[in-house]
């Protein structure tokens, strides 16, 4: 870099391999990593697992990005954007790994991260429905983040022992990131749940709407249930919120969102129309001119 | 090759390796330009392969760190301008980078630039990671407190865990009242 300023240096010539946006040849996030598939790992299973984890992260990151300019305070805007950036980084690494596994490690056979993120239709996405739930108020945001990050942290922690060293390494790095995502969400749920009459009302409403989505999370990763339930119980107790009321709400579920939460199956590609809208926004530029280079 | 030529060859290789290391270690971080990649602890290895190619090994700070591609390009350019024609920059994901990898020199440079260096990264044993529910700005007055980089006071508090880049938190000094940034422990 000839200039000390990172953004000025972006304009410099770096040869063919430094690309900064879609269609400008953004570099492979696993560039220079030993990506050999280990013997004994089922490539198709690995591809499916990485794709599901990547889709959860990409869709959640897009919802967090939609908070930028709308968060209640500047610090929170920065926080949500930072969390989204971590998830986007995880998604890129996982898409790259999914593509390699899908191609059984053969050069040029699997899809690359751009193909997976920008050129799949909604029914090809494997994210859980909770990730695509449209944004509501700020209480809704932090409750959703608490559920998603508690669940993802439990999954990634278990994957640090995966037989694929690339997935294990991505998970290991992700664990330290998810730990502060979850702390951030949990602290806000306590602050709002145990706050003013209005903030408590909003937090309870968000919990009532989002609580039933846990069923899909546990169906997708049953081994996470005990840990996630323990964390949620601890946070609700600190916020002086009653979980038994929520379980009752789940049993007597009604309303569109709740019904979808109980019947949908994002891991099988059965999504709500909200994912279609989200992907239209996310993929629009890439699809409008797939051959574009900038 | 005669037996006596061997030390000279080794000396030549050693000199080349020194040159490669010096070139690689001089590259600055794109977002914290007061630090070199070596200070930051992301440059894990520089070696010369049997065929004369230089391999430099980098590790990313955060999964979504947008500066990694820039680091790689800068490292490649620095090694080429030091006279190495074949350069490979490899990425190593494991073990993950921790702020404990920032060198003492790096910590000193951060503090000099008004950014408080990180404390010790949390050590985790196996099992579920406990959720931290402590609310409000965390104030520390103990010996290992985060000190204000301007007045040196240990009486500082966190105002936000998230800052202008993924690696920084925002803090405020309760003694001199100045806000400052800190590289947060990870």
Q: Are residues B23 and B93 in the same domain?
A: yes
Q: Are residues B93 and B144 in the same domain?
A: no
CA distance B71 to chain A (A): 9
Residue A65 CA: distances (Å) to CA of A58, A61, A70, B168: 10, 6, 10, 19
To probe the interface with B, which of A22, A82, A229 has the most B CB atoms within 10 Å? A82
To probe the interface with A, which of B34, B36, B61, B63 has the most A CB atoms within 10 Å? B63
* A178 occurs within a structural domain: yes
pTM value is 0.89
ipTM over 0.90: no
Residue B105 CA: distances (Å) to CA of A129, A179, B154: 47, 28, 21
Contact A154, A181 (CB under 8 A): no
Contact B102, B39 (CB under 8 A): yes
CA distance A254 to chain B (A): 32
Q: Which residue range forms the structural domain that includes residue B167?
A: 113-120+139-183
- pLDDT of A17 reads 43
Residue A217 has pLDDT above 60, yes or no: yes
* B62 occurs within a structural domain: yes
- pLDDT of B4 reads 45
Q: Does A200 touch chain B (CB under 8 A)?
A: no
Q: Does B33 touch chain A (CB under 8 A)?
A: yes
Q: Which of residues 22-81 of A touch B (CB under 8 A)?
A: 26-27, 30-33, 75, 78-79
- Percentage of chain B exceeding pLDDT 70: 90
Q: Does A173 touch chain B (CB under 8 A)?
A: yes
Contact B59, B66 (CB under 8 A): no
Q: Are residues B20 and B90 in the same domain?
A: yes
* A81 occurs within a structural domain: yes
- pLDDT of A164 reads 97
The number of folded domains in chain B is: 2
Query: For the segment A83-114, what is each residue's pLDDT rounded down to a tens digit?
Result: 999 999 999 999 999 999 999 888 778 999 99
Residue A1 has pLDDT above 50, yes or no: no
The number of folded domains in chain A is: 1
Q: Which residue range forms the structural domain that includes residue A240?
A: 40-288
Instruction: Name the pLDDT band for A26 (thresholds 50, 70, 90).
Output: low
Instruction: Name the pLDDT band for B7 (thresholds 50, 70, 90).
Output: low
* B59 occurs within a structural domain: yes
Residue A24 has pLDDT above 60, yes or no: no
Q: What is the CATH number of the domain that holds A228?
A: 1.20.1260.10
Q: Which of residues 122-161 of B touch A (CB under 8 A)?
A: 128-129, 131-135, 159-161
CA distance B133 to chain A (A): 5
Q: Report the mean per-residue pLDDT for chain B.
A: 88
* B169 occurs within a structural domain: yes
* A11 occurs within a structural domain: no
Cα torsion at A236, B160, A205, A262 (round to 10°)? -80
Out of A258-262, A280-284, B46-50, B148-152, least confident range:
A258-262
Q: What is the CATH number of the domain that holds B22?
A: 3.30.300.130
| Average pLDDT of the segment spanning A55-78 | 96
Query: For the segment A114-173, what is each residue's pLDDT rounded down to a tens digit?
Result: 999 999 999 999 999 999 999 999 999 999 999 999 999 999 999 999 999 999 999 999
- pLDDT of A254 reads 47
């Amino acid at each position: 870099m000839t200039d000390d300023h990172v953004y000025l240096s972006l304009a410099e010539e770096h040869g063919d391999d430094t690309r900064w946006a879609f269609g400008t040849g953004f570099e492979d996030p696993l560039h220079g990593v030993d990506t050999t598939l280990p013997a004994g790992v089922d490539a198709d299973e690995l591809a499916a697992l990485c794709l599901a984890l990547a889709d959860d992260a990409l869709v959640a990151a897009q919802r967090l990005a939609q908070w930028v300019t709308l968060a209640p305070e500047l610090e929170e805007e920065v926080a949500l954007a930072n969390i989204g950036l971590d998830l986007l980084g995880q998604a890129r690494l996982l898409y790259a790994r999914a593509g390699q596994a899908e191609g059984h490690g053969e050069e040029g056979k699997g899809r690359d991260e751009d193909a997976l993120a920008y050129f799949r239709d909604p029914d090809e996405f494997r994210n859980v429905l909770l990730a695509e739930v449209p944004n509501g108020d700020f209480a809704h945001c932090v409750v959703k983040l608490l559920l998603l990050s508690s669940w993802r942290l439990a999954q990634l922690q278990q994957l640090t022992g995966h037989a694929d060293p690339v997935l294990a390494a991505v998970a290991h790095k992700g664990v330290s990131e998810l730990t502060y995502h979850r702390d951030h969400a949990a602290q806000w749920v306590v602050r709002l749940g145990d706050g003013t009459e209005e903030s408590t009302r909003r937090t309870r409403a968000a919990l009532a709407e989002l609580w039933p989505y846990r069923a899909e999370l546990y169906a997708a990763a049953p081994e996470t249930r005990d840990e996630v339930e323990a964390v949620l119980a601890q946070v609700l107790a600190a916020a002086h919120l009653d979980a038994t009321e929520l379980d009752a709400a789940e049993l007597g579920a009604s309303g569109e969102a709740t019904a979808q939460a109980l019947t949908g199956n994002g891991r099988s590609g059965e999504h709500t129309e909200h994912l279609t809208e989200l992907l239209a926004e996310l993929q629009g530029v890439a699809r409008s001119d797939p051959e574009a280079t900038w | 090759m005669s037996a006596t030529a061997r030390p000279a060859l080794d000396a030549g290789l050693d000199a080349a390796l020194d040159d490669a290391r010096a070139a690689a270690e001089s590259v600055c971080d794109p977002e914290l330009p007061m630090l070199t990649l070596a200070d930051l602890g992301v440059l894990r290895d520089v070696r010369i392969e049997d065929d004369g190619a230089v391999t430099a090994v980098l590790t990313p700070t955060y999964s979504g760190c947008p500066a990694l591609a820039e680091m790689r390009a800068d490292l490649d350019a620095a090694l080429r301008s030091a006279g190495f024609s074949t350069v490979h920059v490899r990425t190593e994901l494991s073990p993950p980078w921790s702020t404990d990898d920032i060198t003492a020199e790096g910590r000193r440079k951060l503090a000099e630039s008004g950014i408080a260096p990180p404390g010790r990264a949390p050590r985790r044993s196996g099992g579920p990671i406990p959720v931290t529910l402590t609310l409000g700005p965390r104030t520390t007055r103990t010996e290992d407190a985060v000190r204000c980089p301007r007045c040196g006071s240990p009486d500082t508090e966190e105002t936000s865990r998230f800052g202008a880049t993924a690696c920084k938190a925002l803090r405020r000094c309760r003694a001199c009242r100045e806000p400052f940034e800190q590289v947060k422990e990870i």
